[in-house]
Amino acid sequence: MDAAMFADMMAGIEKTLKPYQEGFAKYDYLPEKGMDREEILELMEQFKDMEASKWKEGFISGAVYHGNEAYIDFMNRVYAINSQSNPLHPEIWPSTSKFEAEVVAMTANMLSADRTSDEIVGTVTSGGTESILLAMKTYRDWARETKDITEPEIIAPTTAHAAFTKAGDYFGIKVVRIPVGADFRADVPATWEAINENTIALVGSAPPFPHGIVDPIEELSELARQHELGFHTDACLGGFILPWAEKLGYTVPPFDFRLPGVTSISVDTHKYGYAAKGTSVVLYRGAELRHFQYFSVTDWPGGFYVSPTFAGSRSGALSAVAWAAMVSLGEKGYLDTAKRILETTAWLKREMREIPDIDMIGDPLFMVTFQSKSLNVYQIMEYMTERNWDLSGLHLPPSAHLCITLRHTQEGVKERFLEDFTEAVKYVKEHPEASEGMGPIYGMAAAIETRGMVKSVFNWFMDLLYTV
Ligand SMILES: Cc1ncc(COP(=O)(O)O)c(C=O)c1O
Protein backbone atom coordinates (compact mmCIF):
# COMPACT_ATOMS: atom_id res chain seq x y z
CA MET A 1 0.00 0.00 0.00
CA ASP A 2 1.52 3.29 -0.89
CA ALA A 3 2.24 5.73 1.93
CA ALA A 4 0.01 8.53 0.66
CA MET A 5 -2.96 6.22 0.35
CA PHE A 6 -2.37 4.81 3.82
CA ALA A 7 -2.12 8.33 5.25
CA ASP A 8 -5.37 9.27 3.50
CA MET A 9 -7.27 6.35 4.95
CA MET A 10 -5.80 6.95 8.41
CA ALA A 11 -6.74 10.62 8.28
CA GLY A 12 -10.36 9.78 7.45
CA ILE A 13 -10.78 7.36 10.34
CA GLU A 14 -8.93 9.58 12.79
CA LYS A 15 -11.11 12.54 11.80
CA THR A 16 -14.21 10.55 12.80
CA LEU A 17 -12.80 9.42 16.14
CA LYS A 18 -11.00 12.61 17.14
CA PRO A 19 -13.94 14.61 18.55
CA TYR A 20 -14.72 11.69 20.86
CA GLN A 21 -11.12 11.05 21.87
CA GLU A 22 -10.17 14.68 22.45
CA GLY A 23 -13.34 16.64 23.10
CA PHE A 24 -14.32 14.85 26.30
CA ALA A 25 -12.76 13.76 29.58
CA LYS A 26 -10.66 10.63 29.13
CA TYR A 27 -10.93 7.60 31.40
CA ASP A 28 -8.02 5.25 31.07
CA TYR A 29 -7.97 4.66 34.83
CA LEU A 30 -11.05 4.21 36.96
CA PRO A 31 -12.07 7.59 38.35
CA GLU A 32 -11.11 7.78 42.02
CA LYS A 33 -14.61 8.83 42.94
CA GLY A 34 -17.55 7.72 40.83
CA MET A 35 -18.88 10.15 38.26
CA ASP A 36 -22.26 11.70 38.94
CA ARG A 37 -25.07 9.67 37.31
CA GLU A 38 -26.75 12.76 35.88
CA GLU A 39 -23.46 13.81 34.32
CA ILE A 40 -23.09 10.38 32.73
CA LEU A 41 -26.59 10.57 31.30
CA GLU A 42 -25.89 14.04 29.93
CA LEU A 43 -22.75 12.77 28.25
CA MET A 44 -24.67 9.87 26.70
CA GLU A 45 -27.35 12.25 25.43
CA GLN A 46 -24.65 14.44 23.92
CA PHE A 47 -23.10 11.47 22.08
CA LYS A 48 -26.54 10.38 20.92
CA ASP A 49 -27.27 13.85 19.53
CA MET A 50 -23.92 13.83 17.70
CA GLU A 51 -24.65 10.46 16.10
CA ALA A 52 -28.38 9.97 15.73
CA SER A 53 -29.35 12.48 13.07
CA LYS A 54 -27.60 10.52 10.34
CA TRP A 55 -29.49 7.29 10.88
CA LYS A 56 -32.72 8.92 12.03
CA GLU A 57 -33.01 10.97 8.87
CA GLY A 58 -32.36 7.98 6.65
CA PHE A 59 -28.85 8.71 5.40
CA ILE A 60 -27.41 5.26 6.04
CA SER A 61 -27.65 1.90 4.35
CA GLY A 62 -29.31 -0.80 6.51
CA ALA A 63 -28.02 -0.75 10.11
CA VAL A 64 -31.11 0.78 11.78
CA TYR A 65 -34.11 -1.02 10.37
CA HIS A 66 -36.98 0.59 12.31
CA GLY A 67 -35.84 3.57 14.38
CA ASN A 68 -39.20 5.18 15.14
CA GLU A 69 -38.86 7.19 18.39
CA ALA A 70 -41.93 5.82 20.19
CA TYR A 71 -41.04 2.29 19.13
CA ILE A 72 -37.50 2.68 20.48
CA ASP A 73 -38.91 3.98 23.79
CA PHE A 74 -41.07 0.87 24.03
CA MET A 75 -38.08 -1.43 23.31
CA ASN A 76 -36.07 0.45 25.95
CA ARG A 77 -38.78 -0.07 28.56
CA VAL A 78 -38.88 -3.77 27.81
CA TYR A 79 -35.08 -3.89 28.13
CA ALA A 80 -35.12 -2.00 31.43
CA ILE A 81 -37.69 -4.36 32.98
CA ASN A 82 -35.57 -7.38 32.01
CA SER A 83 -32.08 -5.94 32.40
CA GLN A 84 -30.97 -8.41 35.10
CA SER A 85 -32.14 -11.59 33.39
CA ASN A 86 -29.70 -14.21 32.15
CA PRO A 87 -30.89 -17.24 30.17
CA LEU A 88 -28.05 -19.29 31.68
CA HIS A 89 -30.24 -19.43 34.79
CA PRO A 90 -33.72 -20.53 33.69
CA GLU A 91 -34.48 -21.45 37.30
CA ILE A 92 -34.23 -17.73 38.18
CA TRP A 93 -35.69 -16.24 34.98
CA PRO A 94 -38.15 -18.78 33.52
CA SER A 95 -39.84 -15.90 31.70
CA THR A 96 -36.70 -15.51 29.54
CA SER A 97 -36.94 -19.18 28.52
CA LYS A 98 -40.55 -18.61 27.53
CA PHE A 99 -39.57 -15.56 25.47
CA GLU A 100 -36.75 -17.40 23.69
CA ALA A 101 -38.80 -20.53 22.98
CA GLU A 102 -41.58 -18.40 21.52
CA VAL A 103 -39.22 -16.24 19.43
CA VAL A 104 -37.87 -19.46 17.91
CA ALA A 105 -41.34 -20.94 17.35
CA MET A 106 -42.77 -17.76 15.81
CA THR A 107 -39.72 -17.43 13.53
CA ALA A 108 -39.92 -21.09 12.48
CA ASN A 109 -43.60 -20.74 11.61
CA MET A 110 -42.95 -17.53 9.68
CA LEU A 111 -40.44 -19.56 7.64
CA SER A 112 -42.98 -22.26 6.79
CA ALA A 113 -42.30 -24.84 9.47
CA ASP A 114 -45.04 -27.45 9.46
CA ARG A 115 -47.36 -26.14 12.18
CA THR A 116 -48.60 -29.66 12.95
CA SER A 117 -45.15 -30.93 13.96
CA ASP A 118 -42.26 -29.74 16.07
CA GLU A 119 -39.69 -30.73 13.45
CA ILE A 120 -38.18 -27.22 13.14
CA VAL A 121 -36.25 -26.20 16.25
CA GLY A 122 -33.63 -23.60 17.01
CA THR A 123 -32.05 -21.19 19.45
CA VAL A 124 -31.75 -17.46 19.95
CA THR A 125 -28.23 -16.14 19.29
CA SER A 126 -26.46 -12.79 19.51
CA GLY A 127 -26.60 -11.93 15.80
CA GLY A 128 -26.29 -13.17 12.26
CA THR A 129 -22.63 -14.03 12.56
CA GLU A 130 -23.19 -16.17 15.64
CA SER A 131 -26.12 -17.95 13.97
CA ILE A 132 -23.92 -18.78 10.97
CA LEU A 133 -20.92 -19.83 13.09
CA LEU A 134 -23.13 -22.09 15.19
CA ALA A 135 -24.73 -23.72 12.15
CA MET A 136 -21.31 -24.44 10.61
CA LYS A 137 -19.95 -25.86 13.88
CA THR A 138 -23.10 -27.98 14.10
CA TYR A 139 -22.54 -29.44 10.62
CA ARG A 140 -18.87 -30.08 11.41
CA ASP A 141 -19.73 -32.06 14.55
CA TRP A 142 -22.66 -33.81 12.87
CA ALA A 143 -20.50 -34.92 9.93
CA ARG A 144 -17.72 -36.07 12.25
CA GLU A 145 -20.07 -38.22 14.28
CA THR A 146 -22.39 -39.54 11.60
CA LYS A 147 -20.03 -39.72 8.59
CA ASP A 148 -16.58 -39.85 10.11
CA ILE A 149 -15.51 -36.73 8.15
CA THR A 150 -12.41 -35.25 9.78
CA GLU A 151 -11.44 -32.72 7.11
CA PRO A 152 -14.75 -30.99 6.59
CA GLU A 153 -15.57 -28.68 3.68
CA ILE A 154 -18.51 -26.42 3.01
CA ILE A 155 -19.35 -24.97 -0.40
CA ALA A 156 -20.61 -21.39 -0.53
CA PRO A 157 -21.06 -18.81 -3.29
CA THR A 158 -18.52 -15.96 -3.19
CA THR A 159 -21.37 -13.63 -2.18
CA ALA A 160 -22.31 -15.58 0.98
CA HIS A 161 -21.47 -13.56 4.08
CA ALA A 162 -17.90 -13.24 5.40
CA ALA A 163 -19.12 -15.05 8.52
CA PHE A 164 -18.83 -18.36 6.59
CA THR A 165 -15.11 -17.70 6.09
CA LYS A 166 -14.89 -16.79 9.76
CA ALA A 167 -16.55 -20.12 10.63
CA GLY A 168 -13.99 -21.91 8.48
CA ASP A 169 -11.19 -20.08 10.24
CA TYR A 170 -12.51 -20.74 13.74
CA PHE A 171 -13.56 -24.37 13.32
CA GLY A 172 -11.06 -25.82 10.87
CA ILE A 173 -13.55 -26.12 8.02
CA LYS A 174 -12.39 -25.58 4.45
CA VAL A 175 -14.68 -23.05 2.78
CA VAL A 176 -14.86 -23.60 -0.97
CA ARG A 177 -16.07 -20.37 -2.53
CA ILE A 178 -17.78 -20.67 -5.92
CA PRO A 179 -17.96 -17.58 -8.16
CA VAL A 180 -21.52 -16.46 -8.83
CA GLY A 181 -22.96 -16.35 -12.34
CA ALA A 182 -23.47 -13.29 -14.51
CA ASP A 183 -26.82 -12.80 -12.73
CA PHE A 184 -24.97 -12.59 -9.36
CA ARG A 185 -26.66 -15.82 -8.17
CA ALA A 186 -24.99 -19.00 -6.98
CA ASP A 187 -23.75 -21.26 -9.77
CA VAL A 188 -25.53 -24.59 -9.29
CA PRO A 189 -23.52 -26.74 -11.79
CA ALA A 190 -20.21 -25.42 -10.37
CA THR A 191 -21.43 -26.20 -6.86
CA TRP A 192 -22.29 -29.72 -7.95
CA GLU A 193 -18.80 -30.16 -9.40
CA ALA A 194 -17.16 -28.98 -6.16
CA ILE A 195 -18.90 -31.62 -3.99
CA ASN A 196 -16.50 -34.30 -2.75
CA GLU A 197 -16.31 -36.89 0.05
CA ASN A 198 -15.35 -34.20 2.61
CA THR A 199 -18.26 -31.90 1.83
CA ILE A 200 -20.52 -31.51 4.84
CA ALA A 201 -22.89 -28.73 3.78
CA LEU A 202 -23.87 -26.33 1.00
CA VAL A 203 -24.84 -22.72 1.54
CA GLY A 204 -27.11 -20.23 -0.20
CA SER A 205 -28.40 -16.80 0.83
CA ALA A 206 -31.84 -15.22 0.79
CA PRO A 207 -30.46 -12.80 -0.12
CA PRO A 208 -26.69 -12.25 0.19
CA PHE A 209 -25.54 -8.93 1.62
CA PRO A 210 -23.71 -7.54 -1.46
CA HIS A 211 -26.34 -7.38 -4.20
CA GLY A 212 -29.52 -8.54 -2.48
CA ILE A 213 -30.38 -11.15 -5.13
CA VAL A 214 -31.73 -14.43 -3.71
CA ASP A 215 -29.69 -17.51 -4.66
CA PRO A 216 -31.34 -20.49 -6.42
CA ILE A 217 -32.01 -22.12 -3.05
CA GLU A 218 -34.44 -24.65 -4.49
CA GLU A 219 -31.84 -26.17 -6.82
CA LEU A 220 -28.97 -25.90 -4.33
CA SER A 221 -30.90 -27.47 -1.48
CA GLU A 222 -32.08 -30.29 -3.75
CA LEU A 223 -28.45 -30.92 -4.68
CA ALA A 224 -27.62 -31.12 -0.98
CA ARG A 225 -30.53 -33.46 -0.30
CA GLN A 226 -29.50 -35.81 -3.09
CA HIS A 227 -25.97 -35.98 -1.67
CA GLU A 228 -27.23 -36.27 1.95
CA LEU A 229 -25.51 -33.02 2.90
CA GLY A 230 -26.64 -30.23 5.16
CA PHE A 231 -28.04 -27.14 3.48
CA HIS A 232 -27.98 -23.76 5.16
CA THR A 233 -30.08 -20.83 3.96
CA ASP A 234 -28.60 -17.60 5.23
CA ALA A 235 -31.73 -15.49 5.61
CA CYS A 236 -30.16 -13.16 8.16
CA LEU A 237 -31.04 -10.18 6.00
CA GLY A 238 -34.17 -11.36 4.19
CA GLY A 239 -35.81 -13.76 6.63
CA PHE A 240 -38.06 -11.18 8.26
CA ILE A 241 -39.11 -9.42 5.07
CA LEU A 242 -39.29 -11.97 2.21
CA PRO A 243 -42.23 -13.90 3.75
CA TRP A 244 -44.22 -10.66 3.91
CA ALA A 245 -43.11 -9.66 0.40
CA GLU A 246 -44.51 -12.96 -0.84
CA LYS A 247 -47.82 -12.38 0.97
CA LEU A 248 -47.96 -8.92 -0.63
CA GLY A 249 -47.73 -10.51 -4.09
CA TYR A 250 -44.06 -9.93 -4.92
CA THR A 251 -42.17 -12.76 -6.62
CA VAL A 252 -40.00 -14.38 -3.99
CA PRO A 253 -37.96 -17.44 -4.93
CA PRO A 254 -38.47 -20.30 -2.45
CA PHE A 255 -35.84 -20.33 0.32
CA ASP A 256 -37.41 -21.64 3.53
CA PHE A 257 -38.48 -24.92 5.14
CA ARG A 258 -41.00 -25.60 2.37
CA LEU A 259 -37.92 -26.91 0.55
CA PRO A 260 -37.20 -30.38 1.95
CA GLY A 261 -33.44 -30.01 1.41
CA VAL A 262 -33.14 -26.92 3.63
CA THR A 263 -31.82 -28.21 6.96
CA SER A 264 -30.96 -24.93 8.70
CA ILE A 265 -31.70 -21.20 8.42
CA SER A 266 -30.14 -18.15 10.05
CA VAL A 267 -32.53 -15.22 10.40
CA ASP A 268 -32.00 -11.96 12.22
CA THR A 269 -34.51 -10.50 14.63
CA HIS A 270 -32.17 -7.49 14.90
CA LYS A 271 -32.54 -6.56 11.22
CA TYR A 272 -36.00 -6.59 9.61
CA GLY A 273 -37.35 -8.27 12.78
CA TYR A 274 -37.01 -4.76 14.28
CA ALA A 275 -35.59 -5.90 17.62
CA ALA A 276 -32.73 -4.06 19.31
CA LYS A 277 -29.22 -5.03 18.19
CA GLY A 278 -28.04 -8.29 19.69
CA THR A 279 -30.36 -11.11 18.64
CA SER A 280 -30.82 -13.54 15.78
CA VAL A 281 -32.29 -17.03 15.42
CA VAL A 282 -30.72 -20.21 14.06
CA LEU A 283 -33.19 -22.90 13.05
CA TYR A 284 -32.64 -26.59 12.29
CA ARG A 285 -34.67 -29.33 10.71
CA GLY A 286 -34.74 -31.83 13.57
CA ALA A 287 -33.81 -31.77 17.25
CA GLU A 288 -30.94 -34.18 16.57
CA LEU A 289 -29.12 -31.61 14.48
CA ARG A 290 -29.64 -28.92 17.13
CA HIS A 291 -28.02 -31.23 19.69
CA PHE A 292 -24.70 -30.86 17.82
CA GLN A 293 -24.83 -27.15 18.59
CA TYR A 294 -25.15 -27.55 22.37
CA PHE A 295 -22.16 -27.70 24.68
CA SER A 296 -22.07 -29.53 28.00
CA VAL A 297 -19.42 -30.60 30.46
CA THR A 298 -19.87 -32.86 33.46
CA ASP A 299 -16.39 -33.06 35.03
CA TRP A 300 -15.85 -29.44 35.98
CA PRO A 301 -15.55 -28.56 39.67
CA GLY A 302 -17.95 -25.68 39.02
CA GLY A 303 -20.74 -28.23 38.57
CA PHE A 304 -22.64 -29.44 35.51
CA TYR A 305 -22.43 -26.88 32.75
CA VAL A 306 -24.54 -26.68 29.63
CA SER A 307 -25.15 -23.84 27.19
CA PRO A 308 -26.87 -23.73 23.82
CA THR A 309 -24.72 -21.05 22.13
CA PHE A 310 -21.17 -19.62 22.33
CA ALA A 311 -21.78 -17.32 25.28
CA GLY A 312 -22.19 -18.46 28.83
CA SER A 313 -24.08 -15.70 30.58
CA ARG A 314 -25.97 -13.53 28.16
CA SER A 315 -28.59 -10.84 28.10
CA GLY A 316 -32.12 -12.10 28.65
CA ALA A 317 -33.29 -8.54 28.17
CA LEU A 318 -32.38 -8.64 24.47
CA SER A 319 -34.41 -11.82 24.03
CA ALA A 320 -37.33 -10.14 25.81
CA VAL A 321 -36.98 -7.21 23.41
CA ALA A 322 -37.02 -9.56 20.39
CA TRP A 323 -40.17 -11.22 21.74
CA ALA A 324 -41.80 -7.86 22.42
CA ALA A 325 -40.92 -6.63 18.91
CA MET A 326 -42.50 -9.68 17.30
CA VAL A 327 -45.70 -9.80 19.33
CA SER A 328 -46.21 -6.03 19.28
CA LEU A 329 -45.88 -5.80 15.50
CA GLY A 330 -47.65 -9.04 14.67
CA GLU A 331 -48.29 -10.10 11.08
CA LYS A 332 -50.04 -6.87 10.32
CA GLY A 333 -47.14 -4.75 11.56
CA TYR A 334 -44.62 -6.72 9.49
CA LEU A 335 -46.84 -6.60 6.41
CA ASP A 336 -47.35 -2.83 6.69
CA THR A 337 -43.65 -2.09 7.18
CA ALA A 338 -42.63 -4.48 4.39
CA LYS A 339 -45.09 -2.80 2.02
CA ARG A 340 -43.58 0.63 2.66
CA ILE A 341 -40.01 -0.61 2.26
CA LEU A 342 -40.73 -2.59 -0.91
CA GLU A 343 -42.61 0.29 -2.53
CA THR A 344 -39.81 2.74 -1.70
CA THR A 345 -37.25 0.36 -3.21
CA ALA A 346 -39.33 -0.17 -6.35
CA TRP A 347 -39.64 3.62 -6.82
CA LEU A 348 -35.91 4.17 -6.39
CA LYS A 349 -34.97 1.31 -8.73
CA ARG A 350 -37.27 2.67 -11.39
CA GLU A 351 -35.87 6.18 -11.13
CA MET A 352 -32.23 5.11 -10.93
CA ARG A 353 -32.56 2.95 -14.04
CA GLU A 354 -33.20 6.17 -15.95
CA ILE A 355 -29.85 7.72 -14.93
CA PRO A 356 -27.32 7.55 -17.79
CA ASP A 357 -24.02 5.77 -17.04
CA ILE A 358 -25.54 3.84 -14.14
CA ASP A 359 -26.23 0.10 -14.38
CA MET A 360 -28.55 -1.24 -11.73
CA ILE A 361 -27.58 -4.74 -10.61
CA GLY A 362 -30.44 -7.24 -10.78
CA ASP A 363 -33.82 -6.62 -9.24
CA PRO A 364 -33.39 -6.91 -5.47
CA LEU A 365 -36.56 -6.33 -3.46
CA PHE A 366 -35.23 -4.13 -0.64
CA MET A 367 -31.94 -2.80 -1.94
CA VAL A 368 -30.69 -0.58 -4.74
CA THR A 369 -27.33 -1.76 -6.07
CA PHE A 370 -25.45 -0.06 -8.85
CA GLN A 371 -22.30 -0.26 -10.92
CA SER A 372 -21.05 1.68 -13.93
CA LYS A 373 -19.10 0.85 -17.07
CA SER A 374 -18.03 4.45 -17.66
CA LEU A 375 -17.73 6.03 -14.19
CA ASN A 376 -15.87 5.22 -11.02
CA VAL A 377 -18.54 4.16 -8.50
CA TYR A 378 -16.23 4.94 -5.57
CA GLN A 379 -16.08 8.56 -6.71
CA ILE A 380 -19.87 8.59 -6.72
CA MET A 381 -19.82 7.15 -3.22
CA GLU A 382 -17.30 9.77 -2.14
CA TYR A 383 -19.55 12.56 -3.40
CA MET A 384 -22.51 10.98 -1.61
CA THR A 385 -20.46 10.80 1.60
CA GLU A 386 -19.85 14.53 1.35
CA ARG A 387 -23.62 14.93 1.16
CA ASN A 388 -23.92 12.95 4.42
CA TRP A 389 -24.95 9.65 2.80
CA ASP A 390 -23.45 6.40 3.99
CA LEU A 391 -23.65 3.84 1.19
CA SER A 392 -22.18 0.35 1.44
CA GLY A 393 -19.18 0.06 -0.85
CA LEU A 394 -18.81 -3.30 -2.58
CA HIS A 395 -16.09 -4.76 -4.73
CA LEU A 396 -15.53 -7.65 -7.12
CA PRO A 397 -16.99 -5.95 -9.14
CA PRO A 398 -16.84 -2.28 -8.03
CA SER A 399 -20.38 -1.36 -6.97
CA ALA A 400 -22.32 0.05 -4.05
CA HIS A 401 -25.72 -0.35 -2.48
CA LEU A 402 -28.29 1.32 -0.28
CA CYS A 403 -30.21 -1.22 1.80
CA ILE A 404 -33.70 0.22 2.25
CA THR A 405 -35.20 0.36 5.73
CA LEU A 406 -38.15 2.09 7.33
CA ARG A 407 -35.91 5.15 7.70
CA HIS A 408 -35.99 5.62 3.93
CA THR A 409 -39.78 5.47 3.82
CA GLN A 410 -40.05 8.79 5.68
CA GLU A 411 -41.37 11.67 3.66
CA GLY A 412 -38.86 13.17 1.24
CA VAL A 413 -35.99 10.75 1.89
CA LYS A 414 -36.10 8.81 -1.37
CA GLU A 415 -36.45 12.03 -3.34
CA ARG A 416 -33.45 13.53 -1.51
CA PHE A 417 -31.42 10.40 -2.25
CA LEU A 418 -32.32 10.50 -5.93
CA GLU A 419 -31.49 14.17 -6.22
CA ASP A 420 -28.09 13.82 -4.53
CA PHE A 421 -27.31 10.65 -6.47
CA THR A 422 -28.17 12.26 -9.80
CA GLU A 423 -25.90 15.19 -8.95
CA ALA A 424 -23.15 12.83 -7.82
CA VAL A 425 -23.22 11.02 -11.17
CA LYS A 426 -23.17 14.31 -13.06
CA TYR A 427 -20.29 15.65 -10.97
CA VAL A 428 -18.17 12.53 -11.40
CA LYS A 429 -18.78 12.56 -15.13
CA GLU A 430 -17.56 16.14 -15.29
CA HIS A 431 -14.67 15.64 -12.82
CA PRO A 432 -13.23 12.19 -13.40
CA GLU A 433 -10.05 13.32 -11.63
CA ALA A 434 -11.90 13.77 -8.27
CA SER A 435 -10.74 11.88 -5.16
CA GLU A 436 -11.53 8.19 -5.31
CA GLY A 437 -12.18 7.76 -1.59
CA MET A 438 -12.05 4.08 -0.72
CA GLY A 439 -11.65 3.09 -4.37
CA PRO A 440 -7.93 2.36 -4.33
CA ILE A 441 -8.26 0.52 -1.03
CA TYR A 442 -10.84 -1.82 -2.56
CA GLY A 443 -8.71 -2.18 -5.65
CA MET A 444 -5.69 -3.15 -3.61
CA ALA A 445 -7.60 -5.39 -1.22
CA ALA A 446 -8.71 -7.39 -4.24
CA ALA A 447 -5.16 -7.91 -5.52
CA ILE A 448 -3.60 -11.07 -4.14
CA GLU A 449 -0.12 -9.60 -3.80
CA THR A 450 -1.26 -6.82 -1.48
CA ARG A 451 -3.79 -8.70 0.62
CA GLY A 452 -1.25 -9.29 3.40
CA MET A 453 -0.53 -5.58 3.57
CA VAL A 454 -4.18 -4.70 3.68
CA LYS A 455 -4.59 -7.16 6.56
CA SER A 456 -2.00 -5.27 8.57
CA VAL A 457 -3.88 -2.04 7.89
CA PHE A 458 -7.04 -3.71 9.20
CA ASN A 459 -5.13 -4.75 12.34
CA TRP A 460 -4.07 -1.15 12.79
CA PHE A 461 -7.69 -0.04 12.32
CA MET A 462 -8.98 -2.46 14.97
CA ASP A 463 -6.21 -1.37 17.37
CA LEU A 464 -7.17 2.25 16.77
CA LEU A 465 -10.74 1.57 17.89
CA TYR A 466 -9.38 0.38 21.24
CA THR A 467 -7.15 3.40 21.72
CA VAL A 468 -8.27 5.86 24.41
C1 LIG B 1 -26.88 -11.95 4.47
C2 LIG B 1 -26.22 -11.66 5.79
N3 LIG B 1 -25.77 -12.67 6.53
C4 LIG B 1 -25.16 -12.47 7.71
C5 LIG B 1 -24.96 -11.21 8.20
C6 LIG B 1 -24.23 -11.01 9.49
O7 LIG B 1 -25.06 -10.45 10.46
P8 LIG B 1 -24.50 -9.75 11.79
O9 LIG B 1 -23.83 -8.50 11.37
O10 LIG B 1 -25.74 -9.58 12.59
O11 LIG B 1 -23.55 -10.67 12.44
C12 LIG B 1 -25.40 -10.11 7.44
C13 LIG B 1 -25.19 -8.74 7.89
O14 LIG B 1 -25.48 -7.77 7.24
C15 LIG B 1 -26.04 -10.34 6.21
O16 LIG B 1 -26.48 -9.33 5.44
Residue pLDDT, tens place only, 332-369: 999 999 999 999 999 999 999 999 999 999 999 999 99
Ligand 1 pocket check for 364: Cβ under 6 Å:
no
Q: What is the mean pLDDT of the chain?
A: 95
130 Cα nearest atom in ligand 1: 11
Rounded average pLDDT over 229-248:
98
The CA 313 to ligand 1 mean position distance, Å, reads: 23
Map the chain to HEC letters. CCHHHHHHHHHHHHHHHHHHHHCCCCCCCCCCCCCCHHHHHHHHHHHHHHHHHHHHCCCECCCCCCCCHHHHHHHHHHHHHCCCCCCCCCCCCHHHHHHHHHHHHHHHHHCCCCCCCCCEEEEEECCHHHHHHHHHHHHHHHHHHHHCCCCCEEEEECCCCHHHHHHHHHHCCEEEEECCCCCCCCCHHHHHHHCCCCEEEEEEECCCCCCCCCCCHHHHHHHHHHCCCEEEEEECCCCCCHHHHHHCCCCCCCCCCCCCCCCEEEECCCCCCCCCCCCEEEEEECHHHHHCCCEEECCCCCCCEEECCCCCCCCHHHHHHHHHHHHHHHHHHHHHHHHHHHHHHHHHHHHHHCCCCCEECCCCCCEEEEECCCCCHHHHHHHHHHCCCECEEECCCCEEEEECCHHHHCCCHHHHHHHHHHHHHHHHHHCCCCCCCCHHHHHHHHCHHHHHHHHHHHHHHHHHHCCC
Enumerate the domain spans of the chain: 81-326
How high is the pLDDT of residue 376?
96
| Residue 81 CB partners (closer than 8 Å, separation 6+) | 317, 320
How do residues 129-173 score in pLDDT, each as one tens digit?
999 999 999 999 999 999 999 999 999 999 999 999 999 999 999
Q: Which residue has the higher pLDDT, 121 or 13?
A: 121
Rounded average pLDDT over 81-101:
98
Rounded average pLDDT over 249-256:
98
The CA 411 to ligand 1 mean position distance, Å, reads: 28
How high is the pLDDT of residue 273?
98
Q: Is 390 left (phi over 0), alpha (psi -120 to 50) or beta?
A: beta
5 pLDDT band, cuts 50/70/90, is: low
Residue 9 has pLDDT above 80, yes or no: no
How high is the pLDDT of residue 6?
66
How high is the pLDDT of residue 2?
58
How high is the pLDDT of residue 21?
84
Q: Poorest-confidence range of 114-128, 276-290, 426-440? A: 426-440
How high is the pLDDT of residue 430?
97
Residue 464 has pLDDT above 80, yes or no: yes
How high is the pLDDT of residue 203?
99
How do residues 375-385 score in pLDDT, each as one tens digit?
999 999 999 99
81-326 under CATH 2.30.130.10, yes or no: no
Ligand 1 pocket check for 323: Cβ under 6 Å:
no
Residue 417 has pLDDT above 80, yes or no: yes
Residue 186 has pLDDT above 60, yes or no: yes
Q: Poorest-confidence range of 67-81, 232-246, 280-294, 446-460? A: 446-460
202 pLDDT band, cuts 50/70/90, is: very high
Rounded average pLDDT over 412-436:
95
Rounded average pLDDT over 246-264:
98
Residue 448 has pLDDT above 80, yes or no: no
How high is the pLDDT of residue 18?
87
Ligand 1 pocket check for 263: Cβ under 6 Å:
no
Out of 64, 132, 209, mutate this one to test ligand 1's pocket (max ligand atoms within 8 Å of CB): namely 209
The CA 205 to ligand 1 mean position distance, Å, reads: 10
Residue 12 has pLDDT above 80, yes or no: no
Out of 65, 126, 129, mutate this one to test ligand 1's pocket (max ligand atoms within 8 Å of CB): namely 129
446 pLDDT band, cuts 50/70/90, is: low
238 Cα nearest atom in ligand 1: 1
Ligand 1 pocket check for 279: Cβ under 6 Å:
no
How high is the pLDDT of residue 196?
98
Rounded average pLDDT over 451-462:
85
